[in-house]
Amino acid sequence: MEEVWIRESFVESLHYVDSGLDEGWMDSPGDSRLGQLSGCTRGQTEAVRPAVRDGGRGWWPEVGQRQQEGADVVGFGAVKIAAQDVKVLEATCRTAAILEIHTNEKEVTEKEITLHLLPGEQLLCEASTVLKYVQEDSCQHGVYGRLVCTDFKIAFLSDNESALDNGETQFKNKIIGENDITLHCVDQIYGVFDEKKKPLFGQLKKYPEKLIIHCKDLRVFHFCLRYTKEEEVKRIVSGIIHHTQAPKLLKRLFLFSYATAAQNNTATDPKNHTVMFDTLKDWCWELERTKGNVKYKAVSVNEGYRICERLPAFFVVPTPLLEEDVLRFQGHGIPMWCWSCHNGSALLKMSALPREQDDGILQMQKNFLDGIYKTIHRPPYENVKTEDLSSNFLSLQEIQTAYSKFKQLFLIDNSTEFWDTDIKWFSLLESSSWLDIIRRCLKKAIEITECLEAQNMNILLLEENASDLCCLLSSLVQVMMDSHCRTQTGFQSLIQKEWVMGGHCFLDRCNHLRQSDKEEVPVFLLFLDCVWQLVHQHPPAFEFTETYLTVLSDSLYIPIFSTFFFNSPHQKDVNMGRESLYTQSKLLNLLTVWDWSVQFEPKAQTLLKNPLYAEKPKLDKGQRKGMRFKHQRQLSLPLTQSKSSPKRGFFREETDHLIKNLLGKRISKLINSSDELQDNFREFYDSWHSKPTDYHGLLLPHIEGPEIKVWAQRYLRWIPEAQIVGGGRVATMGKLLEMMEEVQSLQEKIDERHLSQAPLQAEAPCLLRNSARLSSLFPFALLQRHSSKPVLPTSGWKALGDEEDLARREDEFVDLGDL
């Protein structure tokens, strides 16, 4: 009798009656009948599993080897049965399929795919026989595997690892795999019921046959659960919904589990020189670097957070300001220094005073603010201009609404959906208003820059808590005006100073605890998008690349780094065990995102560095002394005199309006007329763009309509149809890197010959060699991901007429709304 080997399935085990060695029945979602299996021993019968189609990966050579050695193969994942019984299995197991029939000379193999867990990570639930669809039209191609959920991520482990593993990928994240989704990265979960897509929330009465997960980094995953056992479907779907949607306590974040379990893992990148601004010395260094120590001082009045939990332990204020002034309203109403310009003007920010109804308290607050403003506004030598961001600029609701519409353009389920929306894509893009918001942010930053640079005025940014739009604009201005902030270390230090120590509520704005959608606003992502516009327009001015910005945006949702998971430095220190000198809790060693060696190998980190960066030449002391900007001291005259009358002054009529604003009453007439402002802005803007660009000086973006573009690498990287194979900037960059590596290699060979006459070593492979294999969205997309089935819709184009007639017609206006 001919015998064959069949592969074990991931369907739950078969159960057999005890009436005989050859009789049995199967408990499966498909069928409960199993006929007699002839020629099987009792042990072999108990090990039978239906085999699952996975693209024909192959068979297990270990089984044949064990058979030759006379070893028992029961439980090894494959069994030997009569060939005639294969038909019985095919007829009775609708949820499975026989992979292939091999006679005894053939062998069977399977490699168990293991789940790699981080320190402190725990497996919560899993499901077998899950089919992961490839995001390509509706052909429903895919691979089988296990879908697992841990307290850190959702992961898919393929039976056929080679089908999903991209061997050519050189930019791999060591923490998050290609088929991993951190729980914080999950944006929305959908279920498919009878071909209808519905969002999933809370407890379900009916479980879907397909699971669709939309991620905050704009990936879309499709998992088919049709072949999975019902109990496993309930566990995995309920588990994913609960652990990605249910409100959490801060201490229950995986961040703390990881930090506790990885206490001994303290290795950091020695090349990371990011200034953390968590000591008084760091602030003094920044004052010295910007020459701001003439008018401003670093204070430690809030050390131990004894005044205000919202403020950092150390910060910078005007020199005349007394400690009693900071204590009076717990840090509110205090002008806090951000940065000093070379001409002596400064950028400051201030949070509003609490709203009060009592007239006595209001008068006291007014007198307090009168004194505060005298420290920064002393015309004609020192003028201040206020920018009320709470009433004269964007609202947080506008930002959230615009991004919610914008991201839907990139959460594409399949190729058909992509091409169906292609004809109206620009209309949808414009209606989202996201690019317009970016333009408004850049324009406001240029206006502030013009006041600092051309008018020599102090700028005071006003906001309710000075922790959202103040962070965004102060950071943008520094990127434009300070070349140090355009280096990787300087940019990271800037984020630490203005965002992390500045009290931006990352925990709430990213909604890491799933507490309230009302607080979730992508302010930091908006900042990165604005910086990308500058990087895209002026590549040689930045030491880092757009890839760096993309992985930085992804790191918002990786809960092993503390950088983006707290609302304030105080909240971080409290939860690390630093809240009291008498605490019994052990200090936690939380990682910072700036140590890129945690996520990427050294070779991958080279893609974060810009080979086009025009590094500032190092000058000797004599040259530096001759070229140094002369710092404008306190008694220097401004470049532009104040237009207000000295008799009326700032502190009579204007202060009354300013007081109302700081007390929470919105006003709009705090600055000069809009016509005058527009004239100054246009003159400054046009003058700068008419001159050659100094990549180490002032840097302004183009803000005209077509100049503000979509950040393609971040938003389009997971859409195969949007890629240009062998094209885009990667083609130019690839050739450039090849030339640079060749020059460097030749230089090293010359040095070796000159010094030691040692034999030459083989050349190291170029990182971007064979750029024709890459796509325009490298390093996140390669040739294999490119869709081979771009099916264009015909409904919209038929209205334009016949193809031949269309080619002969003159260009004319076509109303897309009628298509």
pLDDT at 1 (0 to 100):
46
Least confident span in 143-152, 465-474, 647-656: 647-656
List pLDDT tens digits, range 545-590.
Answer: 999 999 999 999 999 999 999 999 999 999 987 544 334 456 778 8
CATH number at residue 238: 2.30.29.30
Pair of tokens at residue 171 = 């930019």
AA identity, residue 107: E
- Which of the two residues, 602 and 375, has the higher pLDDT score? 602
288 and 389 in one domain? yes
Closest by CA to 177, choosing from 236, 112, 255, 115, is 115
Report yes or no on 202 lying in a domain: yes
Is the Cβ–Cβ distance between 527 and 475 less than 8 Å? yes
* pLDDT band at 482; cut points 50, 70, 90: very high
List pLDDT tens digits, range 258-305.
Answer: 999 987 665 566 667 899 999 999 999 999 999 998 899 999 999 999
Return the DSSP state at 385: E
Report yes or no on 484 lying in a domain: yes
285 and 220 in one domain? no
Q: What is the mean pLDDT of residues 322-348?
A: 88
Of 608, 627, 644, the last residue of a domain is 608
Mean residue pLDDT of the chain comes to 76
318 and 421 in one domain? yes
234 and 340 in one domain? no
Pair of tokens at residue 704 = 């005209």
When mean pLDDT is compared over 62-76, 332-346, 490-504, the highest value belongs to 490-504
Is residue 68 over pLDDT 70?
A: no
Report yes or no on 229 lying in a domain: yes
Is the Cβ–Cβ distance between 745 and 764 less than 8 Å? yes
Is residue 193 over pLDDT 60?
A: yes
- Which of the two residues, 65 and 744, has the higher pLDDT score? 744
526 and 378 in one domain? yes
- How many Cα atoms within 13 Å fall on the side-chain side of residue 347? 28
538 and 598 in one domain? yes
- Which of the two residues, 576 and 313, has the higher pLDDT score? 313
- Around Cβ 747, how many Cβ atoms within 10 Å? 10
Pair of tokens at residue 225 = 């659960």
Is the Cβ–Cβ distance between 483 and 541 less than 8 Å? yes
302 and 209 in one domain? no
Give dist(CA 254, CA 121) in Å, integer. Answer: 8
Closest by CA to 299, choosing from 335, 275, 351, is 335
Of 556, 577, 608, the last residue of a domain is 608
pLDDT at 125 (0 to 100):
96
Report yes or no on 367 lying in a domain: yes
Return the DSSP state at 650: I
Give dist(CA 787, CA 147) in Å, integer. Answer: 25
* pLDDT band at 214; cut points 50, 70, 90: very high
Report yes or no on 213 lying in a domain: yes
285 and 241 in one domain? no
> pLDDT exceeding 70 applies to what percent of the chain?
67
Cα 690 to Cα 240, 685, 686, 702, 753: the distances in Å are: 55, 9, 6, 12, 48
Full-model pTM: 0.77
Of 557, 587, 608, the last residue of a domain is 608
Cα 413 to Cα 135, 375, 533, 535: the distances in Å are: 7, 57, 28, 30
List pLDDT tens digits, range 650-706.
Answer: 333 444 444 444 444 333 333 344 555 677 889 999 999 999 999 999 999 999 988
291 and 178 in one domain? no
Q: What is the mean pLDDT of residues 212-234?
A: 95
- The sign of the CA dihedral 744, 621, 339, 436 is negative
Q: 299 lies in which domain range?
A: 280-608
Report yes or no on 623 lying in a domain: no
Kindly report the three-state secondary structure assignment for every residue of 669-734.
CCCCCHHHHHHHHHHHHHHHHCCCCCCCCCCCCCCCHHHCCCCHHHHCCCCHHHCCECCCHHHHHH
499 and 367 in one domain? yes
337 and 207 in one domain? no
Alpha helices by DSSP H, 217-264 = 230-245, 254-261
Domain count, the chain: 2
**Strand 346-351 and strand 458-463: pairing?**
parallel
Cα 534 to Cα 167, 438, 523, 698: the distances in Å are: 34, 11, 17, 12
Report yes or no on 541 lying in a domain: yes
Report yes or no on 787 lying in a domain: no
234 and 136 in one domain? yes
Return the DSSP state at 487: S
